[in-house]
Copies of this chain bind each other. A is one copy, B any other.
Amino acid sequence: MQKDLYPSRKGENTRIIERKDPVIHSESRDKGPLSHKDLDFYENNGYLLFEKMFNDEEVEIMKKELDSTMKENESRDADDVIKEPGSNEIRSVFETHKDGNFFQELSKNERIVKVAEQLLGDQVYINQSRINFKPGFKGKEFYWHSDFETWHVEDGMPNMRAVSCSIVLTDNYEYNGPLMLIPGSHKWFVSCPGETPDANYKSSLQKQELGVPDNESMKWLVDQAGGRIDRATGPAGSVLFFECNTMHGSAGNISPYPRSNVFFVYNSITNKLQEPFSGKEPRPEFVANRENVQPITPISGDISSRIKK
């Protein structure tokens, strides 16, 4: 068996490990659609924001599809429907890229897939997806975390060769709890203390308790960034790509403006999931993702809705 390059939750104290994987793979530098400048920014900072990659009409279609998917799932009480702690309101619906629906088609859209392919230097598949709705007035904070830490420890993602793509469907302002990112934090792995219980995924999306970096490591990462914390603000239709190990979080949202987005995680086809080093059993869909995945064939950039007019 392969060596665990990124051990975490072994009951030890926090420690910071240098990243072992490349960020940009050299063979993809000249492939396009991204310029060298874009690639350099991503390599140095761990994210890349495109303003209005989708136009207003496309955003309207996506919003309608998001609303109807939320409604369809209102009465379901399943692992892939995440509700607000202490309430019945839906915050996220997972696995929206399946069953031939609108979001599956969107996830194959060449505008985003080709960016993901170039960033990962490989063909890609969707490892997970979700749509998120963060209400105004009472949107909860999401504390700092690296997605990779969880995906590695709980789901069995071996290497850092995945990228998250967030299509924002509402204007993101400084004051409605935008995603915050620590520039350059993807170059370091914060190995966290604690141990993962069985089926941790059932509760961890409501309230994080494991994989939480300590204050000292967070301070260190921000210091490495020269004290900067960046925010993904921009108009609806903007798309944020961020590296799987980029430390990110968001404050609560007391503004009247809700936030919603579509979220796809593209993983390199050569970075398929395996049994986690912890030996714990992951979500069933991630066991399926160990073998049973095919690379995406990108489809034309046209966004159309299945909604009857």
Contact = CB atoms under 8 A, between A and B. Distances in A.
A215 B252 contact: no
Provide the main secondary structure of the chain A interface.
Answer: loop
Given A136-B215, A215-B136, A252 B174 contact: no
B255 A252 contact: no
A295 interface: no
Which of A141, A143, A175, A249 has the largest count of B CB atoms less than 10 A from its CB? A175
Given A174-B231, A175-B231, A219 B141 contact: no
19 contacts: A137-B215, A137-B218, A141-B141, A141-B252, A141-B254, A144-B254, A173-B229, A175-B180, A175-B231, A175-B251, A180-B254, A180-B255, A218-B256, A219-B256, A229-B255, A251-B252, A251-B253, A251-B254, A252-B252
Contacts of A254: 141, 143-144, 180, 249, 251
A222 interface: yes
Nearest to A141: B252
A251 B215 contact: no
Q: How many of these chains are in the complex? A: 2
A177 interface: yes
Contacts of A251: 141, 175, 177, 251-254
